[in-house]
Chain A
Amino acid sequence: MSRETTVNLLLALLLLGAPLVAAGMGEPFYVTLATRVVVLALAAVGLNLALGSGGLLSFGHAAFFGLGGYVAGILATHAFNGEPLFAGIPATTSMPLIWIAAVAVAGLIALPIGAISLRTSGVYFIMITLAFAQMIYYFAISWPAYGGEDGLSMSVRNAFPGVNTAKPLPYFLICYAALMAALLLFRVVEGSRFGSALQAARQNGIRLAAVGIAPFNIRLVAFAASAMITGFAGALYADLNRFVGPSMLSWHMSGELIVLIILGGKGRLFGPVAGAMIFVVFEYVLGGITERWQFFLGLILLGIVLFARGGLLGLLSGKPRHV
């Protein structure tokens, strides 16, 4: 077992164990905090597929995160009011159905955005993904049907068959299972033919084209898959807070998702998990000490980018297998 695998296992156990202990001690707040870590990590796992494996620096993943959230919020609101969604299709409060819808919507929106954005590269790609995310953000703000600027509150958490989702611990376990499933999927994809092609597309697109695989298609599939995972996380996040608002779509959110990956370690399986743990703990500890925690977050982030490349996993488990 390599050092990185050991570290990964320890992280996974820590993330599962801490809320179990907290729940045992009757501290539901920490369970909710851990759920936040898990959901943000899931969103970042999605982005990591595009950014880490594919080298696609998307600065607009908040769009998919928010879309997933809005799908959950809109479906729940319609179901609560007993209105059909459109054309007589009934709304639902069943989480599995909501997740399917969130993933489908994120994927369907990611395809055209990816198809246009992937015609460009480098700085253009960063700015175009940012611009598309802003487009969706402004649309959400100026469309009053679903709360506009104020967002959309859900009166109860959506339902999962056989589980009482209103309690913090069962909901945490659902999210944790989702994260582990996504990490497993990430691992399988990385080792597959598609994963190798994606790595190759990042390293040298022209050579990949020369062996008969079109880099554009590989990148587009990776971008859409990445958006789908992030959209799934968005649906979970909306249910966690029982609220969805334009802030989930804002460009700060996109920036934070990138920050999570970098804090943990780029292109590593558990990078997003480690990053989300540091970020949330940091937000909580510093936020308790000073109202100005973002100032210090900025300083620390700057320090990491300038001096400690490789993130937490770089410190804990040495150099990555492939650079």
Chain B
Amino acid sequence: MFTALLIEQLLNGLQLGVMLFLMAAGLTLIFGVMGLINLAHGSLYMIGAFACATVAAATGSFWIGLIASLAAAAGVGAIIEVAVIRRLYDRDHLDQVLATFALILILSEGARWLFGSFPLYLDIPPMLQGAVPLPGGGQYQLYRLAIIGVGIAVAIGLYLLIARTRLGMRIRAGESDREMIGALGVDIGTLYTVVFALGAALAGLAGALVGALQSVQVGMGEPVLILAFVVIVIGGIGSIKGALVGAVIVGVVDTMGRFLLPSVLALTMPASQATTIGAALASMLIYVVMALILAFRPSGLFSAQS
């Protein structure tokens, strides 16, 4: 039974990691190409979740909702980029932090205005309801497995996009020398808008997928945003490979810490105390891991800018 539980928790960690990867990939891409730190990325996640829940409730189809979430997040992302973000590329980090913090206030309060303070609910699509048996007994939710599948597919897709396509070539060129590709006739403004919208769509997708597991509410993006920051700091800012590795590390460490720490501590102290202390320590664990990694590699595991 313990093995089954262990496998289940490992899969949960992997699923969390995959979600974080969707968030972190956009963040790290935007930072790598445009040098922008975007705190409002969590709001795009929230927008994806709200769009999916609203459209799915109206049409009765999760899949139409999923498409709507991609469109809404990418659309809002493109509008934000053109209206605000574009003016921030040449500014220092302080201005970027403040402007995107202001965007969070606007988008969160705006969402509360439109949708009210009560959470929305999103059902798992019928096709993905149910569970699959695990080796060693036990069952695992099919939907969570599907999320892991989507994450892996997106990772492969992003790799192909960046390594094999013309757009990817321009993105890589933009990372290394933006003046040069501007001089070679690439419309850098459009490229930036596209990259930002792509990152936004990934965040929206993550929000929609998670929306079916949790309630959809204002502020849901902020904890994920901060975890995504931890991910890209661990992985090395600007590196998609780093984002993937960092996301899996954070997802698995966080989940396994919450699962294992209380039982490990229970060997040395009374059970009730072990549960409390274990939970408190587990909630700090990923930050400890981050501090350890940074103590040895101050610019992350796969630093893109060395």
Which stretch in B1-9, B102-110, B181-189 binds the other chain? Answer: B102-110
Contact B280 A142 (CB under 8 A): yes
Category for how many chain B residues contact A:
35 or more
Which stretch in A1-9, A17-25, A68-76, A129-137 binds the other chain? Answer: A129-137
Give the residues in chain B near A297, CB-CB below 8 Å: 102, 105
Q: How far is the CA of A281 from the CA of B166 in the complex (A)?
A: 52
Give the residues in chain A near B230, CB-CB below 8 Å: 127, 131
A298 contact from B104, B298, B299, Cβ within 8 A: B104
B287 at the interface (CB under 8 A from A): yes
Contact A127 B229 (CB under 8 A): yes
Q: How far is the CA of A126 from the CA of B97 in the complex (A)?
A: 9
A44 at the interface (CB under 8 A from B): no
Q: How far is the CA of A143 from the CA of B37 in the complex (A)?
A: 32
Q: Which of B19-42 contact A (CB under 8 A)?
A: 31, 37
Q: Which of A128, A139, A305 has the most CB of B within 10 A?
A: A305
Contact B98 A259 (CB under 8 A): yes
B94 at the interface (CB under 8 A from A): yes
Report whether over half of chain B's contact residues are helix, strand or loop; otherwise say mixed: helix
Q: How far is the CA of A142 from the CA of B275 in the complex (A)?
A: 11
Give the residues in chain A near B95, CB-CB below 8 Å: 305, 309
A302 contact from B97, B102, B113, B226, Cβ within 8 A: B102
User: Contact string, A117-154, partner B, CB cutoff 8 A, digits 1/0?
Assistant: 00110111011101110110011011110000000000
Give the residues in chain B near A127, CB-CB below 8 Å: 37, 229-230, 232-233
Give the residues in chain A near B232, CB-CB below 8 Å: 127
If the complex has contacts A131-B290, A135-B287, A306-B84, are A124 and B280 also in contact, measured as CB distance less than 8 A? Answer: no
B276's closest neighbor in chain A, by CB?
A144
Give the residues in chain A near B233, CB-CB below 8 Å: 124, 127-128, 131
Contact A298 B109 (CB under 8 A): yes
Q: How far is the CA of A143 from the CA of B237 in the complex (A)?
A: 32
B222 at the interface (CB under 8 A from A): yes
Contact B99 A302 (CB under 8 A): yes
Contact A301 B299 (CB under 8 A): no
B102 contact from A120, A141, A298, Cβ within 8 A: A298
Contact B226 A298 (CB under 8 A): no
B124 at the interface (CB under 8 A from A): no
Q: How far is the CA of A237 from the CA of B286 in the complex (A)?
A: 30
Q: How far is the CA of A172 from the CA of B87 in the complex (A)?
A: 42
Contact A258 B97 (CB under 8 A): yes
B283 at the interface (CB under 8 A from A): yes
A59 contact from B97, B103, B105, B113, Cβ within 8 A: B97
A314 at the interface (CB under 8 A from B): no
User: Contact string, B101-139, partner A, CB cutoff 8 A, digits 1/0?
Assistant: 111111011101100000000000000000000000000
B258's closest neighbor in chain A, by CB?
A142
A295 at the interface (CB under 8 A from B): yes
Contact B94 A57 (CB under 8 A): yes
A61 at the interface (CB under 8 A from B): no
Q: How far is the CB of B42 from chain A (nearest CB, A)?
A: 11
Contact A130 B229 (CB under 8 A): yes
B291 at the interface (CB under 8 A from A): yes
Q: How far is the CB of A279 from chain B (nearest CB, A)?
A: 13
Q: How far is the CB of B269 from chain A (nearest CB, A)?
A: 15
If the complex has contacts A116-B291, A124-B298, A299-B106, are A138 and B229 also in contact, measured as CB distance less than 8 A? Answer: no
Q: How far is the CA of A208 from the CA of B97 in the complex (A)?
A: 28
Contact B283 A139 (CB under 8 A): yes
User: Contact string, B64-97, partner A, CB cutoff 8 A, digits 1/0?
Assistant: 0000000000000000000010010000011101
Contact A143 B280 (CB under 8 A): yes
Contact A298 B287 (CB under 8 A): no
B37 contact from A126, A255, A259, Cβ within 8 A: A126
If the complex has contacts A123-B37, A124-B299, A299-B106, are A255 and B276 also in contact, measured as CB distance less than 8 A? Answer: no
Q: How far is the CA of A142 from the CA of B254 in the complex (A)?
A: 14
A301's closest neighbor in chain B, by CB?
B102
Q: How far is the CA of A124 from the CA of B280 in the complex (A)?
A: 25
A266 at the interface (CB under 8 A from B): yes
Contact A141 B283 (CB under 8 A): yes
A306 contact from B87, B222, B226, B237, Cβ within 8 A: B87
B294 at the interface (CB under 8 A from A): yes
Contact B279 A142 (CB under 8 A): yes
B35's closest neighbor in chain A, by CB?
A123
Contact B101 A301 (CB under 8 A): yes
B295 at the interface (CB under 8 A from A): yes
Give the residues in chain A near B237, CB-CB below 8 Å: 123-124
Contact B283 A138 (CB under 8 A): yes
B284 at the interface (CB under 8 A from A): yes
Contact B102 A299 (CB under 8 A): yes
Q: How far is the CA of A116 from the CA of B222 in the complex (A)?
A: 24
A123 contact from B93, B109, B112, B294, Cβ within 8 A: B93
Give the residues in chain A near B226, CB-CB below 8 Å: 130-131, 134, 251
Please provide the 4 A-B residue pairs with the shortest distance between their CB atoms, ordered closest to farther. A298-B105, A135-B287, A295-B109, A298-B106
The contact sample of 19 A-B pairs, CB cut-off 8 A, is A120-B299, A122-B93, A124-B233, A124-B298, A124-B299, A126-B97, A141-B283, A251-B222, A258-B101, A262-B98, A292-B109, A292-B113, A294-B105, A294-B108, A295-B113, A297-B105, A305-B99, A305-B102, A309-B95
- Given A126-B37, A294-B105, 9 extra CB contacts under 8 A: A128-B233, A130-B229, A132-B291, A294-B108, A298-B102, A298-B103, A299-B102, A301-B101, A305-B98
Chain B contacts to A: CB under 8 angstroms = 31, 37, 84, 87, 93-95, 97-99, 101-106, 108-110, 112-113, 222, 226, 229-230, 232-233, 237, 276, 279-280, 283-284, 287-288, 290-291, 294-295, 298-300
